[in-house]
Amino acid sequence: MLTEQTLEQLWELHINQTHKEKKKIWNLIRSKFYKWQTPEILFKIFRTYLQRCDADGSKVIVEKQLTESSLCALMARNEISAIHVPSFCPPDVAESLSRKAFEEYTHWKLEGIISTDMFYAGGSIPKEAADHNWIDFQRYFKEREDFVAKQRELSLGNWAVDRLRLDLDEKWPFGACLGKYLGQTLRPAIMRIMDAKNNLDISVPKQGLIHTDDFPRLKPSYGTFSANIYLKIPEKGGELYIWGVNLRKIQGIRGYISTQLLATLMNQGYVFDIKWQEEILRLLPEAHVIKPNVGDLVIFHSGRPHSVAPVTKGIRVTNQLFIDVRGKSPLIIRS
């Protein structure tokens, strides 16, 4: 457990680092770009000229276990949209974890302003939320060890996140390790909960809120992937939509303008606005729809547009983690 003094020092280092990042030329330009509502203005100018993106032909593959060849097709070559491994987590473990999650859940605002339709179980504060204020930052580092210990205890030593870490380490040609930040180990996964009362003041469309968690112009062997292990499946809703598009592959000046504007809209700031959601949907081809069962694992590039259909009956519980791919080096696991 970290002392108060160490936590304060970490926060100071974190603030300095964040200030340095903000001063980088690209980040300054980007913040001005948003502040002056440039995306909205450009969108109005080009609206009729924009073209719908073509799918890149990538499919969702279903396999009994992760293999080196499927991981390389997904993460090194962006050839497939997602890997779906049924029954990755034993059903009794899924049941025990999701029962506990439901007993203690909190609604976080991401980046201090935007509410989401996801809740998070105790000890599961998202790193993105913790990065923005001192109270949540402390909680992240104070709660991470207990959270992991409790997940393992509830899983009777069979926590599927541990299995995933081992599989990735053994099957990715350069191994896998837990992420570090300022010399501290990051938490390997969070626990997310969705239910019918989502706290959002907008009515969410049938396919959910389309977004990306990484830039959608996908590069080979570089990017952030999202892994979800489904612990409880709702009676209605909760399907995962993934659009098999790679905005980097779209050619021509018209394609370039369309994809740059689309990429901007799928950034968190616009995601919670129905008007922009309609525009995003209009520019995308048909989606892959995955209806996971209890215990399934799905991994996909988080720069591919994706969404979760609103839960209208029952609850949905997942363990989620991000996997950073950084060329010929170990995968980085973090949440």
Ligand X SMILES: O=C(O)CCC(=O)C(=O)O
* DSSP state letter for 104: S
Residue 240: which of ligand X, Fe ion, none does it interact with, CB under 5 to 8 A by kind? ligand X
The CB-of-24 to ligand X minimum distance in angstroms stands at: 25
Tell me the one-letter amino acid at 301.
H
The contact set with ligand X (CB under 6 A) reads 213, 226, 228, 240, 302, 306, 308, 318, 320
Assign 301 to helix, strand or coil.
strand
Q: Which residues pair with 227 in a beta bridge?
A: 299, 321
- Which 3 state secondary structure label does DSSP give 80? coil
Do the Cβ atoms of 324 and 331 come closer than 8 Å? yes
Q: 171 or 306: whose CB is closer to Fe ion?
A: 306
d(CA 30, CA 25): 9
Interface stretch with Fe ion, choices 60-68, 180-188, 207-215, 262-270 (CB under 5 A): 207-215
Residue whose tokens read 């612990």 = 231
Rule CB under 5 A: choose which of 56, 117, 167, 213 binds Fe ion: 213
Report what 259 binds from Fe ion, ligand X, none; CB cut-off 5-8 Å by kind: none
Report the nearest approach of ligand X to the CB of residue 196 (Å).
16
Minimum CB separation of residue 212 from ligand X in Å reads: 9
Contact 90, 295 (CB under 8 A): yes
Is the separation of the CB atoms in 188 and 334 below 8 Å? yes
Helices (H), 47-107: 68-71, 91-103
Q: How far is the CB of 75 from Fe ion (least distance, A)?
A: 17
Q: Considering the complex, what minimum distance in angstroms separates the CB of residue 94 from Fe ion? A: 21
Nearer to Fe ion (CB atom), residue 138 or residue 302: 302
Between 117 and 213, name the residue whose CB sits nearer to Fe ion.
Answer: 213
Question: Least distance from C-beta 209 to ligand X, angstroms?
Answer: 9
Closer residue to ligand X in complex, CB, 39/234? 234
Asked whether the CA dihedral 56, 61, 65, 69 is positive or negative, the reply is: negative
Partner from Fe ion, ligand X, none contacting 198, C-beta within 5 to 8 A by type: none
- Residue of minimal Cβ distance to ligand X: 226
Spatial neighbors of 133 by CB under 8 A, at least 6 apart, are 112
Instruction: Identify what 204 binds: ligand X, Fe ion, none; CB under 5 to 8 Å per kind.
Output: none
Backbone φ and ψ for 255, nearest 5 degrees, come out as -60, -40
Inter-residue contact 297 to 160 (CB < 8 Å):
yes
Window contacting Fe ion (CB under 5 A); options: 108-116, 128-136, 208-216, 278-286: 208-216
Q: Which amino acid is at 92?
A: D
258 vs 305 by CB, closer to ligand X: 305
Closest to ligand X by CB, 250 or 308: 308
Footprint on this chain of Fe ion (rule: CB under 5 A): 213
